[in-house]
Structure 1
Amino acid sequence: MAPEMARTLSCDVAVIGAGTAGLAAERAARANGASTLLIDPYYCGTTCATVGCMPSKLLIAASHAAHAARSTGMFGITVSDIAIDGKAVMQRVREERDRFARLTRENIEEIPDGIRLSGRAKFTAPNRLELDDGRLIEARSIVIATGSAPFVPGAFAGLEKRLLTNESIFELTALPARLAVIGSGAIGLELAQAMARLGVDVTLFDRGDRLGGIRCDKVHAAVKGMIEADLSLQLGVELEASAADDGVSIAWGGASSGQRDFDYMLVATGRPPNLDGLNLSAAGVALDDDGVPVHDRDTMQCGDSAIFLAGDLANDLPLLHEASQDGAIAGRNAVSFPVSTPAERFTSFSITFTSPPVARIGQSEDDAVVTGTADFSDQGRARVEGINQGVLTLYAAAPDGRLIGADLCTPASEHLAHMLAWAIQQGQTATQLLEMPFYHPTIEEGLKQALRTICAATPIDLPEDQDRGLPAGA
């Protein structure tokens, strides 16, 4: 190897991975006066922009348009000859996806060249890295932010081009006629329902009997009913898949049994952390049962070491806003090492962008003294819009009815969930929320039913409520 390729580079903070978390970590470290090096083999953009949040929402947006066109009859409006051009749908998905990815890459390119290093890194010592071209890096602190990748069970590996993940489905040039989706987590639910509403014959399989990690039985029942209205749902099953002529043949058994042929199989069985090739044994950090370095989520530090984690690799909450906060925390503490400052973390908060969306916030019924539920089947504004379906459940603590969590699947639940997450993070009570203005008629008014239940069950006075006693749905 040429001597110049084996040279040693030095910095205060080295960051492995240029996704959302890694970029945030490098930015935070540099903003706090550190010299930094950012290492990534591709610099192709973030998971969100390239294969995650944005392309999936583009597909979902198309499904919303198709569903809306089919749903005008209740308003006395007839839309005839609805046709879905699958090639045009996927072309827009790719074009807009590519635009988001390009803008992300342009932002990355603004990082000075001397900081951006192309290559794969592995540990040779707790403060020393080696790149795959032989270059060495000595750093006072190191942030690992290598992200995650789709998990494909070995039994499906032989399906080859008929097997899709969230990293390949958006490359389809047209919509398939028949699609099997394996896994009912967020990715599986979102893409299964979107494809079904775009006219694809979809069957969703899962060995479990619970969708999307939903905690509340009432909310789960509502979600299950909505999903089953769009596609075939097979829960509690084991399946076998084999390559067939121009497709995939699936046989399943368990809670139900059957056999069907599909054009493609989308595997949405999770995204484990990218750990391969890091040589963590040389990093001197303890690993958990999944091989992830044990770390403090409030500091992102691994034990007492100068190694920090950020983003999906940490295997905590694989969400963009969490990855960004992870990176900022890890970057700041990597600079101040050996002193680490715990951060106040966000209230846990996730949204699955089904229609209507499913949201999960904070703690569950297991931690609550009292719960309050609101049914949106007769909620005023929702009924006006013809979207009156879904349920939300709020969880509160004693003695004052302080909100600690929520599960919901309602109209506009992505917006309601933000309001609730903010209220929970600020420690607000049900009484305090009821004392806030609720404009009429809005979806937000649907919260009142659940809030009143909590107030009635806690030893506090129900606040004056000008519309209390109005007919249901008003």
Structure 2
Amino acid sequence: MHELSYDVAVIGAGTAGISAHRAATAAGARSVLIEQGPGGTTCARVGCMPSKLLAAAGARAHDARQAGLFGVRVAGVSIDGPAVLGRLRAERDRFVAGVFAGMDALPEDQRLAGRARFLDPGTLTVGEDTRVRFRAAVVATGSSPAVPKPLRALGDRVLTTDTVFELPDLPASLAVLGGGPVGIEIAQAMARLGVAVSLFDVGASLAGLSEPDLVEAAARIFGAELDLHLQTEIAGAQAVGDGVRLSWTGPDGRPATGDFSAVLAATGRPPNLEGIGLAQAGLTLGEDGLPAFDARSLVCAGGPILIAGDANAARPVLHEASRQGGIAGRNAAALAASGRIEAPEPWTRLAMVFTHPQAAVVGAPYEAGPSGDRIVGRMDFSDQGRARVEGVNHGGIRIWADGAGRLLGGEMLGPGVEHLAHLLAYAIQDGLDAQAMAERPVYHPTLEEGLGTALSHIAHRIDKMRRGSMRS
């Protein structure tokens, strides 16, 4: 058995793991990065980038079909499925190659390849013949797609985000299970590329939205392009010819069936924690198999172990994984040297969905029912100037603030939301109130004016409340 010793061992060479190794090394620790495969990061290989490439192709097809709105006549739009997917994979592979190039640039004594497993709180094995002793370790093992129980008997007939981008051609029809960010992005893109898409979800909302008006708007907008089955349970699945037959029960309780060329499971990505020996590492595990850990320092209860990125299931998005990796790496180096760890405040929550229109959730979540002293600002894109110019006037904005006007959070569904959501996140992070944010300069005509409308709505309501209090 080959014996190695490090200050810090980082398990997993995805976004969080690479960031953790870099941070630990920069802090002066002797660190090793253990790649368990297949590598390339979830974002570049099967997540952010390939899904956006598919969405970009779908958007071009949709824009061509809708060009008549502007008096531009397009004779016809045809989709070359193999070409669409060929470009997707070529660009995807380019992004992945960049990640691998960074890995290859690491000194050989800072990287290992193989399956890692804890033997005790200070030792793990890598592969069959390597034992690594460490003073602190970072678990950054990422996540894998979940397959709902009714589909498991179908084996590799079930597509996941790990396999759907390997299709040689677009299917004639596709059932998508899951209306969250990944499911709705792929479903809409496929529909715009000529695939007959049916989307199923046990819930009533799409794209991670929860504010009732926006939930209703999303169902209406996406339902115009997709065959939507919300509040629907999949009861069974079977192989039929080259395709799949699904059976389900809708909100009315009636059973139904349908045949599809392919089915995509997009119902989440649980952490890759099974089989790595967390209990042997001395960690306190919950019923879900996740270790108890401090959300700020990322230090696990029970051992000198930290957990970052998708592996802790807290905020499974790239910018959070990168930040968490940095925190975990620095803290691992501190633990290895008996130093002081850091516990920074979490970033303002920021989640986006790159559909058309886009969706975003920022800051504190929506609260149903009585909202106490919360004040909600509203804006509708249907008559917003720039949105109407571009022919994308769908959706709206909802922003909530406390009784003093301090911004807390919001949800958005509309054009340019990826930019508007960042502005709101920065304002929340900086502790701004609605009036102060509304007084920032905004150029005309831009979509940012729509954000200003919602902010001014809050400021107007607060001013009205204060005037009422003064009169009384």
- Inter-partner Cα distance in structure 2 for 1:62 and 1:85: 11
Return the alpha-carbon distance in structure 2 between the equivalents of residues 430 and 57 of structure 1: 32
Q: CA deviation at 1:131?
A: 1.7
Q: Is 2:201 aligned against 1:206? A: yes
Query: What is the aligned partner in structure 1 of residue 264 from structure 2?
Result: 266
Asked if structure 2 preserves the Cα contact closer than 8 Å seen for 1:9 and 1:136, the reply is yes
1:175-214 equivalent positions in 2, closer than 5 A: 175-214=170-209
Q: Are the counterparts in 2 of residues 11 and 138 from structure 1 also a CA contact under 8 Å? A: yes
TM score, norm. by length of structure 2 = 0.94
2:397 alignment counterpart? 392
Partner AA of 1:259 in structure 2: T
Deviation of residue 7 (structure 1)? 2.4
Question: Does 1:35 find its partner at 2:30?
Answer: yes
Equivalent residue in structure 2 for 1:137, among 132, 142, 152: 132
Contact 1:143–1:309 (CA under 8 A) maintained in structure 2: yes
CA distance in 2, matches of 1:345, 1:364: 15
| SS of equivalent residue, structure 1 residue 62 | helix
Identity of aligned residues (%): 47
Cα deviation for residue 351 of structure 1 reads 0.2
- What's the offset of the Cα at 1:304? 5.9
2:258 equivalent to 1:254: no
CA separation in 2, counterparts of 1:348 and 1:327? 17
Distance in structure 2 (CA, Å) of the matches to 1:87 and 1:120: 35
Out of 305, 308, 315, the residue aligned to residue 307 of structure 1 is 305
1:453 corresponds to which residue? 457
Q: Which residue of 2 aligns with 1:420?
A: 424
Question: 4+ residue stretches of structure 1 with deviation over 6 A?
Answer: none
Aligned equivalent of 1:18: 13
* TM-aligned CA deviation for residue 449 of structure 1: 2.0
Deviates more, 1:116-125 or 1:153-162: 153-162
Does structure 1 conserve the Cα–Cα contact (< 8 Å) formed by 2:310 and 2:321? Answer: yes
What letter corresponds to residue 440 of structure 1 in structure 2?
H
CA distance in 2: counterparts of 1:128 and 1:221, whole angstroms: 52
Give 1:88 deviation, angstroms. 0.6
Aligned partner of 2:446 in structure 1 is 442
User: Is 2:56 aligned against 1:61?
Assistant: yes
Distance 2:308 2:362 in 1: 21
State the Cα distance separating 1:448 from its structure 2 match.
2.3
Aligned-residue RMSD, C-alpha? 1.5
Match of 2:470 in 1: none
Partner of 1:471: none
Q: How many residues align?
A: 456
Q: Secondary structure at the match of 1:285?
A: coil
Deviation at 1:210, TM superposition (A): 2.2
Equivalent residue letter for 1:320: L
Q: Are the aligned partners of 1:18 and 1:145 in contact in 2 as well (CA < 8 Å)?
A: yes
- The one-letter amino acid of 2:417's match is S
In structure 2, the partner of 1:148 is 143
- Pick closer, same or farther for the CA change 1:72–1:310 going to 2, 3 Å: same
1:378 aligns with 2:377: no
Alignment match of 1:113 (pick from 97, 108, 112): 108
Distance 1:178 1:373, change over 3 A: same
- Alignment partners' CA distance in 2, 1:311 and 1:44: 15
| Alignment correspondent of 1:284 | 282
Distance 1:211 1:364 in 2: 15
Distance 1:443 1:98 in 2: 34
Distance 1:20 1:153 in 2: 27
Contact 2:353/2:359 (8 A) holds in 1: yes
Q: Deviations over 1:120-172 (max 9, x none)?
A: 11111111111222311111100000010011123312223321000000000
Superposed CA offset, 1:345-384 (max 9, x none): 2101100111111100011342661010100100001111
Deviations 1:51-103 (A, max 9, x none): 00000000000001000000111111100121111111011011111111111
Q: List runs of 5+ in structure 2 lacking aligned partners.
A: 467-472
1:106 Cα deviation from its structure 2 partner: 0.4
Q: CA deviation at 1:459?
A: 4.6
The worse-fitting range, judged by mean Cα deviation, of 339-348 and 258-267 is 339-348
Per-residue deviation, residues 242-287 of structure 1 (Å, max 9, x unmatched): 1001100112223254221101000011100101221111111111
**1:162-177 aligned within 5 A:** 162-177=157-172
Distance (whole Å) between structure 1 residues aligned to residue 38 and residue 107 of structure 2: 13
- d(CA) in 2 for partners of 1:236, 1:419: 33
2:408 is the counterpart of 1:404: yes
Query: How far is the alpha carbon of 1:212 from its aligned partner?
Result: 3.1
Q: Does 1:336 align with 2:334?
A: yes
The letter of the residue matching 1:198 is L
The alpha-carbon deviation at position 332 of structure 1 amounts to 0.5
SS in 2 for 1:124: strand
Counterparts of 1:177 and 1:86 in 2: how far apart (Å)? 10
Kept after mapping to 2: 8 A contact 1:38/1:117: yes
Distance in 2 separating the partners of 1:461 and 1:173: 61
Distance 1:380 1:154 in 2: 47
What SS class does the counterpart of residue 281 from structure 1 fall into? coil
Q: 1:7 aligns with which of 2, 10, 29?
A: 2
- Which of 357, 374, 377 is the equivalent residue of 1:369? 374
> Do 1:69 and 1:79's aligned partners in 2 also have CA atoms closer than 8 Å?
yes
Aligned AA for 1:24? S
Structure 2: distance between partners of 1:213 and 1:75: 32
Q: Look up the SS of the partner of 1:38 in the other structure.
A: strand
* SS of equivalent residue, structure 1 residue 10: strand
Q: Which amino acid aligns with 1:378?
A: D
Deviation at 1:461, TM superposition (A): 11
**Contact 1:364/1:395 (8 A) holds in 2:** no
Could you tell me which runs of 5 or more consecutive residues in structure 1 were left unpaired when the two chains were aligned: 1-5, 463-474
Query: Is contact 1:19-1:146 (8 Å) kept?
Result: yes
SS class of match (2:288): coil
Would the aligned equivalents of 2:279 and 2:285 in 1 still touch at CA under 8 Å?
no
SS of equivalent residue, structure 1 residue 84: coil
Indicate the residue corresponding to 1:347 in structure 2. 348
CA distance in structure 2 between the partners assigned to 1:193 and 1:124 by the alignment: 46
SS in 1 for 2:210: coil
- Cα drift, residue 222 of structure 1: 1.3
Q: What secondary structure does 1:457 align onto?
A: helix
Q: Which residue of 2 aligns with 1:357?
A: 358
1:150–1:271 CA contact under 8 A, matched in 2: yes
Contact 1:43 1:105 in 2 (8 A): no
Deviation at 1:458, TM superposition (A): 1.8
CA distance in 2, matches of 1:280, 1:317: 21
Alpha-carbon distance in structure 1 between the residues aligned to 2:149 and 2:464: 57
- Give 1:301 deviation, angstroms: 0.4
